[in-house]
Chain A
Amino acid sequence: MKLPDLPGGRVLPVVTAPASVLSATGVEVDPTDPAIVQLAADLVATMRVSPGCVGLAAPQVGVGAQVFAVDVGGHPKAVTTHGTFVLCNAKVVEASRWKAGREGCMSVPDLTGDVRRAGRVVVEAIAPGTGEPVTITTDAFEARALQHEIDHCDGKLFLDRVAGAHAIYQRKVYL
């Protein structure tokens, strides 16, 4: 997917749990608002400088809004990929092929957890800048990343979905 033209992005500090912004439902945004377009660029810039980061949502940089960036390109677990992209007001409209997998999060740097997610999703959203509707059909790792980021925009962390008492793990290193 071609990323709409975005301004230069700023690298923002990443917020970690238990910050309240991570637990609040993000507001729907006007994707053509210049402040949202700048936020989209900032999310991409911050994601790119963060080692191992495949997605970053606005609440993670302290903004309670439904905007997130994803880039799973080159990840060994990725099958279908759409490159680097930013979505606003995204919703999962179809989900199937549920499967457990291990997730981490820059906002929960010390823990990982096993979470069941759909292995195939259809996501509808709006592109920042152009304001055009976008439909993404994807699978595997990119589908998991999208669901993780959409959860952030809804005030949820992977901790709200871990499979059981023995499904959280102390992280040894953060890639």
Chain B
Amino acid sequence: MSNATAVPRAALPPDTPVITGWSAVSPYGIGREAFTAGVRAGAKTAVMADAAYGTLPSPEVCTVPGFDVQELLGKRGTAKMDRLTALTLVASDGLLRDADGEPAVTTDDLTGVVLGITMGSLENVTDFLRQSYTNERPFYVDAGRIPFGSLNHAAGATAIRHGLKGPNTTVAGGRAAGLLALNYARRLLGQGRATRYVAGSAEEFSAAHAWYEATAAQPGDPAPLLGEGCGLFLLEPAGTAGRPPLAAVLSIETRVDIDDDPCATADACARRALERAGVTADDVWAAVPSAAPSDAGRAEYEALAALVPAEALRRVPSMELLGDTSAAAASFQIAAVLSVAAADPDSRGRAALVTAVDRDGAVAAAVLRLLGEDA
């Protein structure tokens, strides 16, 4: 194993996108500290589902503990808010505001938002449709919930809450969504379309989501243990970053598994990402697969196990601990590697490989250079 020497920040080309902040609302709790502590402890998060969800295909869930929307966001405007938007707004507060609720990050008219999702708030959409089908007339529906049913509501609400006037985008990409969103932000930063980005991904747990996932599971697989949450990052070019970078985003590659061979596709995608980053597989300090409970997820693990050193795959606890967090997964994987790296000075200057696979064929891989949390 070669020990890569730490890359001084000054050595980064000024247009390299760097992560300068992150925040997570996760089954470990609300905020970055709760996430970091949970990941470092390798703690499980599965609990018996709240009875309010009604009958579920699997009794255990990995929901965000203590997530009371009105308590966290106030009563105004939240009565009909979908959970996905609420999770995203609370995560955005953690990223952009300090403990007193004051802005903690300088933003301007070119600060963009990109959020990765699966299908938005499935609960909101299914409840609305159910009303239309079952009520006395098809138009007897709760009109107040319509805005929350649009796919891009969470990203839009985040921009409005924080006054972010740059490009605002929602990327629907299932388990690859977090990396697709980061790639989108990286590209627009590179083109000068934005000066900094709030980028990440989110998924909500609901009964509708649970039944959907149970129905979509492969025959023979049990109903998956599902998680939820939102992970957000502040991404800026290294040359103009307002805060010390935690990691540089060296490359992001995407593929579609058209040959029904997720292992080969994940392998090709990860190899290409490493090649573009100028990193050899042996130099990978930590590799974090999505741990999706599907053939694609198992194939992804196999591909990484054959590619990177064994200790790299053990460095970060398995994402299984959070349940299948679907669109939020890849953002949690990055947050997890940052959490582990911050506690290990040996990580500084080393590379991390984060991969994602979706059962619909989307595959993505990102290579980060870990830069430490020095002031």
Q: Do A and B bind each other?
A: no
B interface with A by C-beta (< 8 Å)? none
A interface with B by C-beta (< 8 Å)? none
